[in-house]
Amino acid sequence: MYDLGIASLSLSALSLFAGFKSHDENSSKERMRKEKASGKLGIALVGLGGYASGQLAPALTETSNCFLAGIVTGTPEKAEKWKKQYGIPESNIYDYKSFDQIKNNPDIDIIYVVLPNSMHAEYVIRAAEAGKHVICEKPMAITVDECDKMIAACKKADRKLGVGYRLHHDPYHLEMMRLGQQKIHGNIKTMSAGFAFNAQKGIWRLDKTMAGGGPLMDLGIYCVQAFCYVTGQSPISVTAQEGQKTDPERFATVEQSLTWQFEMPGGIKAEGFTSYADSRNTLKVEAERGVYELAPAFNYNGIRGNGPEGKFSFPAVNQQARQMDDFALSLIHKRPVRLPGEMGRRDVVYLQAIYQAMRSGQKVLIR
């Protein structure tokens, strides 16, 4: 679905191809044994769609603290392909019915939920009940109530819950956090961010029941996140306006586009834009002593940045590999998870406030 990083996609695909060998059951079991013996944690991916196959599985060939140990899929052909491609033993392949049996599998320490948004809650809760730590893709869930249940289930099972916010591991975004939070160019006055692409009909993203909303849930969440991590603050209130529906059939249940304005502490104004029928990929900060920005801002790679002192320049990284390694390290070293369920819940509160402001036409206070 996403096409955010042609360069790294083809690089990953190339390296995968170069190192590709078709594993048999014995070599797969031997691979598991070696990976575990090296101290790495095993991850099982649930839902082998675009993001899991295009980004996460290739990233797991580059991780140092975790590895691809298992898969959960409802499609036997996918199971067969992944088994051979990544060396996954038969005993580590599950479908949605046998999912709970993962509890008996010591190869798997972490379950990574990469399903449509409305399915996150059920599978995070079942993963915790199976005694596994969990990473959940964004948005964490489609309601705050679901987030509460997910957090409670992980607490009850004494398991960690993290959210797949990959940009916290990207050097360009880390630089924006440094500039903003340390006020390197003075106090921030205004911010703007936009993330939009064209989404076609026939996919769950355009179905409110499965996605929880439209582009705001999928893309606008990146702008919401950026406003928070660049300022290190939380929004106080929001106003929002739904864009015109030029394709009411395609956008029968969700917004086509949406603009919102956060009021942040210190008088900072932050305006976000998201759409499924447009193209936008920017993050801009106006501070007292200059402007700093990213464009494209939210890609898997190829991000570009500019500030009052010129262009930013950072080496390419694999965001997803860093993100999963960091989660694994937090388990290994028993330290708090950097992007926890509480942050995912917080963002769902903000997304719901934006929708409330959009529907009511009123300013909504965020608590």
Find where tokens 């992007």 sit.
339
Is 84 a residue of the active site? no
Is residue 138 part of the annotated active site? The answer reads yes
Radius of gyration of the chain (CA): 21
Beta bridge partners of 195: 274, 281
Handedness of CA 325, 331, 332, 338 (dihedral sign): positive
- Which of the residues 40, 83, 132, 138 is marked catalytic? 138
Q: Closest CB to ligand NAD among 220 and 307?
A: 220
Considering the complex, state which of residue 115 and residue 268 has its C-beta at the smaller distance from ligand NAD: 115
Query: Which 3-state string (H, E, C) describes 186-229?
Result: CCEEEEEEEEECCCCCCCHHHCHHHHCCCHHHHHHHHHHHHHHH
- Beta carbon nearer to ligand NAD, 185 or 346: 346
Set 123, 172, 222, 229: catalytic member: 222
Is residue 137 within 8 Å of residue 204, measured between CB atoms?
A: no
| Partners of 44 in the β-ladder | 70, 111
Q: 72 or 179, CB closer to ligand NAD?
A: 72
Q: How far is the CB of 328 from ligand NAD (least distance, A)?
A: 17
First-residue to last-residue Cα distance in the chain: 34
Tokens linked to 216: 């705001």
Q: Which is nearer to ligand NAD, 282 or 306 (CB)?
A: 282
Name the residue with the smallest CB distance to ligand NAD.
Answer: 49
Structural tokens at position 227? 């406003």
From the CB of 74, what's the least distance to ligand NAD, in Å? 6
> Which residues sit at the interface with ligand NAD, rule CB under 6 A?
1-2, 47-52, 74, 114-117, 137-138, 164, 166, 204, 218
- Taking the complex as a whole, the smallest distance from the CB of residue 115 to ligand NAD amounts, in Å, to 5
Strand arrangement of the beta sheet that strand 66-72 belongs to: 93-94, 66-72, 41-46, 110-113, 133-136, 161-163
Catalytic residues: 138, 222
